[in-house]
Amino acid sequence: MRRTRRLGRYHLVHRVAFGGMAEVFRGFTFSADGQRHDVAVKKLLPHFVEDEQFVTMLTDEYRLVSRLRHPNVARFFEIARVGKDVLISMEYVDGQDLRSTIDQARTMGIGLVWEDIAFVLARSLDGLHHAHEATGDAGERLEVVHRDLSPSNILIGYDGDVKVIDFGIAKANLNRIQTKQGVIKGKVKYMSPEQAFGHPLDRRSDVFSAGSVLYELCTGRQPFRARTEVELIFAVRDAAPPDCRQLVPDLPEPLARIVDRSMARERRDRFQTAAEMRDALVDFLQSHAPGYRRTRLARFMKHVWAEEIEADLRALEDFVLDLPEGPAENLGTNLLADELGPDAAYARFSPMPTRVTRAADVEAAAVQAHAPLAPGETVMDPFAPATVRVRRRDDDD
* Catalytic, out of 97, 148, 161, 166: 148
From the CB of residue 30, how many other CB atoms can be counted at a distance below 10 Å?
A: 23
Q: Is 12 helix (H, G, I), strand (E, B) or coil?
A: strand
* 264-271, Cβ contacts within 8 angstroms, sequence gap of 24 or more: 264/208, 264/239, 265/193, 265/238, 265/239, 265/240, 267/194, 267/202, 267/204, 267/205, 270/204, 270/207, 270/208, 270/211, 271/204, 271/207
Between the alpha carbon of residue 371 and those of residues 132, 223, 367, the distances in Å are 35, 37, 6
CA dist., res. 227 & res. 393, Å (int): 49
DSSP per residue over 162-222, as a string? EEE--TTHHHHHHHHHTTSTTSSHHHHTT--HHHHHT----HHHHHHHHHHHHHHHHHSS-
**Predicted pLDDT at 34:** 77
Dist CA 64 CA 250 (whole Å): 42
- The predicted pLDDT at position 181 comes to 41
Using CA atoms, how far apart are residues 137 and 143, in angstroms rounded to an integer? 14
- Domains in the chain (CATH in brackets) are 2-92+323-357 (3.30.200.20), 95-302 (1.10.510.10)
In order along its 397 residues, the chain shows pLDDT tens digits of 677 888 998 999 889 888 888 999 999 898 877 788 899 999 999 999 999 999 998 898 888 888 899 999 999 999 999 999 999 999 999 999 999 999 999 999 999 999 999 999 999 999 999 999 999 888 888 889 999 999 999 999 999 999 999 886 655 444 544 434 444 434 789 999 999 999 999 999 999 999 999 999 999 999 999 999 899 999 999 999 999 999 999 999 999 999 999 999 999 999 999 999 999 999 999 999 999 999 999 999 999 999 999 988 887 776 766 665 555 567 888 888 877 777 777 777 887 775 544 444 545 545 444 544 444 433 343 333 333 222 333 344 4
- Please give the order of strands across the beta sheet that includes 36-44: 5-7, 10-18, 22-30, 36-44, 85-91, 76-82, 333-334
Is 51 among the residues known to form the active site? no
The set of residues, in sequence order, having a beta carbon less than 8 Å from that of 361 and lying 6+ positions away, is 36
